[in-house]
Each structure stands twice: as structure tokens, then as C-alpha cells.
Amino acid sequence: MRIGLIGSGRIGSTVARLAIAQGHDVVLSNSRGPDSLADLVASLGPHASAATSTGAAAAGDIVVVTIPLRAVPDVPVEPLAGKVVIDTNNYYPQRDGHITALDSGETTSAELLAAHLGDARVVKAFNSIEASQLLNDGQPAGSPDRRALPIAGDDADAKKVVTELIDSFGYDVVDAGPLAEGRRFEPSTPASGARLTADSLRVALGP
């Protein structure tokens, strides 16, 4: 499988590393252009390449959007139509500026991306774990106390694809429900940040 990355910072580069370890190809992108990613591509090896964000979006069977939330309006729309898109983004007003619809609780950060993209099948994932932990906390399926990560999304098939990817990275998956339920594992919730098993994550996500 080929995974496109829109954003190749701490989380993007970590997802890329984990994906390559599972035999996938990755196409990285950022805001400064492919040349600025040469060192990262070299460190990731022959299964990595770099493109523009439009190129990475077009290349990916799955595309991971992992950028500061304020940059969501820049994410290319047309090449992502119909695709499985993983949203790792969190809202930090001090970084992103205040977004009224999020401050009021009217919508969620993942729904903002989904609304921008229109036809993409957005699944919220990887937003509740710190990048260095994501790289190191994975364990084989069936390990006692295996860490679990939450997902949310409106498309069952897309959630299945993302669940299989996360499992291959070494984590159990707990489905928190439709995309709007992503609010249950946004920053400062009990389900965000802590190292939880599937059972304890279900409790943390709430009824």
C-alpha cells in the first residue's frame, strides 16, 4: 500500500517510519516543498519519497493529514475525493488562533477537515498519542496490556482499513463512533495522552 503524508513533522514522520516498517511505501509532503524533505527521505530509505501536498494526496491509497489545524484550508480537495483520510490534528488556540465553531463546541476539528474535503472518508486517529510514544509503544497483537488507540469516523469501511493499519503498528483499536465523537479523545480528555488498554480506553471514552 502507498501512504501519502500531508505534513511530515513529528507525527507525520513517525507514521511514515511505522508504515515503512510494515512494508508500505510513503510519499511525504510539507509546506516548503519536496526539496526540504531530502534528509528525511534519505533517513527513511528507498520506500520513501517526497512530493508536493497535492502530489502526496494523489499518490496515497490512504492519506494522513497531520498539520497544524490552522493549515486545514490548504489541504488539497480534489485528489482526496473518495479516499480514506486519517486526521491526526488537534486544536490548540494558542497555536492555531481561535476558531469560533470549535470554541463553542458546535463542531470538532476532524469535522472541520471533513467539511473542507467534502467527499473524503475521514477517520480521526493518532491524535491522542505523543509522537515518540507512537514510535515505541507498539506491541504484537495479543500482548498483555497492549496499548489501545481510539478512532472515530462515519465510514465503516474506512474505519476497517485504519483499524488494520493501527493494529499492524502494534496497537489495539477502540472505535469511539461517528466522526463527531472524536471530541471524546481530543486533548485534555481522559482518553487522550494516557497509556490505556482497550478496556480502560472504553471507560475513558465514556458512555
Ligand X SMILES: NC(=O)c1ccc[n+]([C@@H]2O[C@H](COP(=O)([O-])OP(=O)(O)OC[C@H]3O[C@@H](n4cnc5c(N)ncnc54)[C@H](OP(=O)(O)O)[C@@H]3O)[C@@H](O)[C@H]2O)c1
Order of all β-strands in the sheet with 84-87: 48-50, 25-28, 2-6, 62-65, 84-87, 121-124, 148-153, 172-175
Contact 108, 179 (CB under 8 A): yes
| Nearer Cβ to ligand X (36/136) | 36
- Is 108 a binding residue for ligand X by CB under 6 A? The answer is no
- Is 139 a binding residue for ligand X by CB under 6 A? The answer is no
Q: Which residue has the cell 463553542?
A: 104
Q: List C-alpha distances in Å: 30 to 120, 143, 172.
A: 20, 35, 29
- For residues 16 to 45, the per-residue mask of contacts with ligand X, x marking binding by CB under 6 A and - elsewhere, is --------------xxx---x---------
**How many residues at the interface with ligand X, by CB under 6 A?**
24
- For residues 44 to 73, the per-residue mask of contacts with ligand X, x marking binding by CB under 6 A and - elsewhere, is ---------x------------xxxx-x--
Which parts of 68-97 interact with ligand X (CB under 6 A)? Answer: 68-69, 71, 74, 88-90
- Is 6 a binding residue for ligand X by CB under 6 A? The answer is yes
Please give the backbone phi and psi of residue 21, each rounded to the nearest 5 degrees, phi first. -60, -25
Q: List C-alpha distances in Å: 194 to 27, 134, 141, 148, 185.
A: 30, 12, 19, 10, 11
CB 142 → ligand X: shortest distance, Å? 26
Binding site for ligand X (CB under 6 A): 6-12, 30-32, 36, 53, 66-69, 71, 74, 88-90, 127, 130-131
